[in-house]
Structure 1
Amino acid sequence: MGATATYVFQMRTARQARQSAREERLWQERLAAYSAFAGALTDYRKSQNDRWHRKQEDPESAEYTTARDDSYRQRAIATAALFRLRLVTTNQELDELASLALRLTEEIHEATDEQDRTDRGRKARRALLNFAQAAAANVQKVDV
């Protein structure tokens, strides 16, 4: 009887340890995915601003072409980071905030003038900050 009870407790303890390790790995993956997305979107926003400025200077220049190509590359990186984020969270609010931040960043280069570009950049930055705040709250939750 004692051996059976010991076996049952050991199995329960092992199962709890595995569950705890799984939750810790998922927490770490979420933190990494949220951080990677924020970093990628920050780089993408910078490239979008650079693309807009180079186009204003000379839309036929090699500098503009380089800036445009860099913005495409940064968009691909940000989109991949968004997909990674979606793989590690079921939080619909985070998904929506991240998607909005990406969409607003994509629109920066479409600005018609400097004020429009500034406004679009601010909206994109604010959307990213909103995402970061929600992501921070998500990863700081402690289950008691």
Structure 2
Amino acid sequence: MEYKIKASSISNKDANIQIKKSEIAFGTTSESAEVLPNPAELFLGAFASCMLKNVERFSIMMKFTYLKAEVNVSASRAEKPLKMDNLNYKLTIFSSDDNLNILLLKKNIEKFGTIYNTVKLSCTINGVVLQNKTF
């Protein structure tokens, strides 16, 4: 598989990414720092998106149903060398389905997630997957 996107910016303005029929604005100026996502946050968003896509994929393969899934992701920026590190996640699956095997789901996400596997080559990842039966 191959992937393509297009990104553009205007001097002293912000930028956007065009992906298929979607457009995502992101900040490149200090004026938008509190309003628009920055590149580091988009990176974490890609990581979270990979996890949620795999929840959907594995719900079919593992034959469980769920109402929704939420993931919280945080990371810190290392200074030498400059990079993202210590990525932490908490994935919560809202499901009362007894077929949901949390340990197997976590193992599958960590083994078969494209973005997950790319990130783990350069960043420490720690996380938990939880089931919430009361929603």
Quickly name the TM-score band, shorter chain normalised: under 0.3
Instruction: Name the structure, 1 or 2, with higher relative contact order (CA <8 Å, separation 6+).
Output: 1
Q: TM-score, normalised by structure 2?
A: 0.26
Q: TM-score, normalised by structure 1?
A: 0.24
- As a proportion of its length, which structure holds more helix? 1
Q: Which has the larger radius of gyration?
A: 1
